């Protein structure tokens, strides 16, 4: 493998270790999360349920809330049946066990949500205590769920779409490393800034280590991310990639980790997003195809997000 240039300019403040043998796969996942699992303490100690519930996919979150609601109602319905369905006025105590449980379940759902239609009511000290505890649990749990819904809905998010691949393309009289990004929602991002860190796995003093470098971009800041943005790192004599062939880049198991920070006008807040590209996602000798054009009626610019990763092979 070709020797990396400017090894003395490597950085060590990335937060990742330099021992390549201790790494498992890529350092950063495609969704921007760190490819890391923590052990050594109990599961409950290392888990932040608030963060889990905020980042959980929407469908899974709704299913979890519904499952929690159903489980609580099943629990209290079982307690009511164990106490005796006759202590719930308005129920048919002479029916089958399944029918009694059904009546207790729907009374539980009315109590948990504090709806209270009035058709069924608790009778006796024990039944009233259980109903009071359930109504309190309902108030607390629905307050938490409502807060989570609001936090998920209002959490600032960049909504950036990155190209699937990173390319080594002809650029001016040489070549450059390129990838593209665009805002995929109807939000408007301003003052967008990008920093790119790359990792190489190289042999140094007989052992394999990871070296990190900042990749300077031709333009690392733009005023408005209105359409797609092609980020370009010129591979010149100041680049750590200078002189490396496609085989060298693959052998070094290169990983490129861009991070973008911008200001969202709608949230009035700074948002950020990152991703990574490994050697398997690097296309050598290709260039991106256009992603935007004039609309057929000529009235506006048309950004085709499905073409963000479209490229064609070229020769140097």
* Confidence at residue 118, expressed as pLDDT on a 0 to 100 scale: 78
Backbone angles phi, psi at 195, to 5 degrees: -125, 140
- The token duo for 78 is 């079982």
Out of 154, 188, 207, a domain closes at 154
Mean pLDDT of the chain: 89
Distances in Å between the alpha carbon of 216 and those of 2, 248, 256?
A: 21, 20, 12
Range of the domain at 146: 49-154
pLDDT the model gives residue 64: 96
Q: Are residues 149 and 193 in the same domain?
A: no
pLDDT at 21: 65
pLDDT of residue 43: 84
The percent of residues in the chain predicted with pLDDT above 90, rounded, is: 59
Q: What is the pLDDT, as a whole number, of residue 3?
A: 52
Does pLDDT of 20 surpass 70?
Answer: no
* Range list of H helices, the chain: 43-46, 49-55, 58-83, 97-112, 125-154, 246-251
Task: Say whether both 120 and 224 belong to one domain.
Answer: no
> Among residues 96, 128, 154, which one ends one of the domains?
154
Residue 168 pLDDT exceeds 90: yes
Note whether 18 and 12 are within 8 A (CB).
Answer: yes
The answer on 283 and 173 residing in a single domain is: yes
For 101-159, write each residue's pLDDT tens digit. 999 999 999 999 888 787 888 999 999 999 999 999 999 999 999 999 999 988 888 99
Token pair in block for residue 198: 């790359």
Tell me, yes or no, whether 13 and 148 share the same domain.
no
> Of 136, 154, 172, at which residue does a domain stop?
154
Condensed to tens digits (0 to 9), the pLDDT of residues 4-18 reads: 555 556 777 777 877
Least-confidence region, from 107-121, 162-176, 215-229, 249-263: 107-121
Q: Is 196 helix (H, G, I), strand (E, B) or coil?
A: strand
CA distance 252 to 250: 5
Specify whether the CB–CB gap between 112 and 138 falls below 8 A.
Answer: yes
Q: Is 278 helix (H, G, I), strand (E, B) or coil?
A: strand
Write the pLDDT tens digit of every residue in 62-112. 999 999 999 999 999 999 999 998 989 888 877 789 999 999 999 999 999
Assess whether 263 and 114 both reside in one domain: no
């Amino acid at each position: 493998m070709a020797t990396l240039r400017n090894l003395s300019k490597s950085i060590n403040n990335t937060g990742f270790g330099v021992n390549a043998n201790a790494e498992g796969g890529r350092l950063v996942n495609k969704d921007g999360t760190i490819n890391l699992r923590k052990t050594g303490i109990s599961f409950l100690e290392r888990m932040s349920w608030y963060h889990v519930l905020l980042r959980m996919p929407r469908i899974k979150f709704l299913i979890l809330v519904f499952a929690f609601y159903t489980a609580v109602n099943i629990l209290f319905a079982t307690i009511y049946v164990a106490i005796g369905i006759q202590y719930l006025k308005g129920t048919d105590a002479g029916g089958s066990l399944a029918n009694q449980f059904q009546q207790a379940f729907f009374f539980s759902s009315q109590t948990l949500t504090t709806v209270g239609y009035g058709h069924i009511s608790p009778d006796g000290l024990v039944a009233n205590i259980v109903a009071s505890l359930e109504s309190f649990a309902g108030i607390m749990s629905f307050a938490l769920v409502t807060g989570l819904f609001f936090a998920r809905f209002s959490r600032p998010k960049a909504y950036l779409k990155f190209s699937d691949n990173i390319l080594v393309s002809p650029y001016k009289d040489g070549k450059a490393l390129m990838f593209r990004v665009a805002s995929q929602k109807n939000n408007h991002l301003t003052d967008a800034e990008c920093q790119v860190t790359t990792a190489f796995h190289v042999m140094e003093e007989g052992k394999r280590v990871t070296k990190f470098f900042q990749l300077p971009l031709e333009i690392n800041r733009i005023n408005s991310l209105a359409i797609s943005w092609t980020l370009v790192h010129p591979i010149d004599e100041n680049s750590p990639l200078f002189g490396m062939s496609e085989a060298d880049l693959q052998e070094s198991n290169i990983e490129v980790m861009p991070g973008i920070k911008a200001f969202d006008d709608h949230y009035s807040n700074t948002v950020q997003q990152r991703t990574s590209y490994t050697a398997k996602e690097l296309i050598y000798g290709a260039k991106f195809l256009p992603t935007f054009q004039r609309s057929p009626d000529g009235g506006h610019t048309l950004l085709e997000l499905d073409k963000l990763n479209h490229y064609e092979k070229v020769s140097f």
